[in-house]
Structure 1
């Protein structure tokens, strides 16, 4: 900056020029920093906001995972395998109890005569079975609450086992044994086929429910039309329908098709398989019993 004096033209009464007062001295300016600017050493790291994950999205949606499995997904293979083992363990215990009742009611003459004379016990067991079935089917929170879900399933199993044993007591011993053997072969074959096939039976669930309604209406017709051929046709359709239901429920447990059951629903899954197998046995027993007449 120039240090020469600057002059102002002022009127001093004589027409002369008067020098201007000196300005402030020009100090050298400090150099400006060039971007990027250094950050202070004590600057805190950015903290994540509460309720949000740090970093850019997208974020995975929160799933219905219980506190027992905070890091496991329901589609995880180990979780699904543990679920399948639990379902078949419960199912094995149910079938063991049921066929133990069938064995006692068929081969022990004293018990067989008692249940045939006291038919009212069948209706009592049916009422207990129906109430427990409604509770387990409609109350999702209850059937997932341990140990009450197991208690209710045990009551249902005992009541249905009594009904099945009482029905079997009115048939010949040979017919009951044949029905048990055919049921074992059919169910084992359907389960293995459902595990191996690539066909999705779960997509046919709606059609099977409609067929079940038709079968119920057909059973009402059979009450008024007492005919051996009609009874055999009705029992055959029932056995075929519940065989299809067994295939569907098996694939629902596997979880690799269009529809799947949650691993929390092991009681509901065991209940579905159990009722399918029992209905197959009863319909096959009715076919053999009517054929022997």
Structure 2
């Protein structure tokens, strides 16, 4: 039976005389492990606690040995140059301001065109001598149709004329006068009540479409192929309607064609408005303000003419 000490050794004695006799010699004589090799901070690094070195751009608080900021996931990766971010933000702001200026310019031109058109329609509707004159001489109507078609082809097919100032505004003015005369001539065949009703419905449709396009996140610029097919079908329906009506008058067929035409051109108005706004799959270049105003103007006038046919047939 082994003897047992009455009192355990003190803390200092236990450190000097470890229980395990197989420890290395340096531990039995009270010496510690060799100290770790010293480290010197690298370029751009500041000394901190053992095993930690502050990254460049981090300031070590005096006397604390700890950095004043918490390292992020980007520690050790070269930081983004603040000048690059400022340049990116400036570019975004400039592109947004350019787009807003482009939209204002297009709508100012469009407002001038619509003012001319509906002024001509009002004159041809309320002034009886003018109304009788355009009805008596339909050759002027066909001449305005030829001018309308020729100027339209020039503005659509040739980029140089619609970008060169002031020829682009001159061509756009000629186009506006021709289409205004055509619209006034067509309006002269209908009653005043039908013309006012068509104007009111057209204004309501245009305001609704514009607000919808500015608020919605649905992209209609990717539906260009569908709209082309709809335009071709509308043309075919128009030809069939003209042939049928030449033999026998069918009121509901004429109104059906007008209703389909109003819907198709309303979809075109949505499409062209989103092209104007941008931030979609497709957008109009800020240099094409004449093309933007031209496309919206044609859509609105055709919506008015189709609704005029419907309101005219309803009032009769």
Runs of 5+ consecutive residues of structure 1 not aligned to the other structure: 1-70
Q: Is 1:213 aligned to residue 236 of structure 2?
A: no
Match of 1:235 among 239, 258, 267: 258
Q: Residue in 2 aligned with 1:155?
A: 174
Q: Is contact 1:74-1:262 (8 Å) kept?
A: no
Q: Residue in 1 aligned with 2:215?
A: 196
CA distance in 2, matches of 1:127, 1:251: 30
Match of 2:277 among 232, 236, 254: 254
CA distance in 2, matches of 1:148, 1:94: 16
CA distance in 2, matches of 1:204, 1:75: 29
The Cα RMSD (Å) is 1.4
CA distance in 1, matches of 2:234, 2:273: 22
The one-character-per-residue Cα deviations of 1:143-192 (angstroms, maximum 9, x if unpaired) are 10000000000000000000000100000000000000000001110111
Normalising by the residue count of structure 2, what TM-score does the alignment of the two structures yield? 0.69
Q: Residue in 2 aligned with 1:76?
A: 95
Q: Residue in 2 aligned with 1:172?
A: 191
Match of 1:244 among 255, 267, 276: 267
Q: Following superposition of structure 1 onto structure 2, how do residues 58-137 of structure 1 map, counting pairs within 5 Å?
A: 76-137=95-156
The one-character-per-residue Cα deviations of 1:198-253 (angstroms, maximum 9, x if unpaired) are 00011111101111001001100001112111111100000000001001100001
Q: Is contact 1:74-1:80 (8 Å) kept?
A: no
- Cα–Cα, structure 1 residues 72 and 268, in superposed 2: closer, same or farther, change >3 Å? farther
CA distance in 1, matches of 2:118, 2:312: 18
Q: Is contact 1:245-1:276 (8 Å) kept?
A: yes
CA distance in 2, matches of 1:288, 1:78: 41
How many residues were matched structurally?
223
Q: Is contact 1:115-1:121 (8 Å) kept?
A: yes
CA distance in 2, matches of 1:74, 1:287: 46
Match of 1:269 among 292, 298, 302: 292
Match of 1:145 among 164, 171, 191: 164
The one-character-per-residue Cα deviations of 1:10-59 (angstroms, maximum 9, x if unpaired) are xxxxxxxxxxxxxxxxxxxxxxxxxxxxxxxxxxxxxxxxxxxxxxxxxx
State the secondary structure of the residue aligned to 2:281: coil
CA distance in 1, matches of 2:279, 2:212: 15
Deviation at 1:292, TM superposition (A): 2.2
| Segments of 4+ moved more than 3 angstroms | 71-75
- Cα–Cα, structure 1 residues 72 and 119, in superposed 2: closer, same or farther, change >3 Å? farther
CA distance in 2, matches of 1:137, 1:290: 33
CA distance in 2, matches of 1:164, 1:292: 19
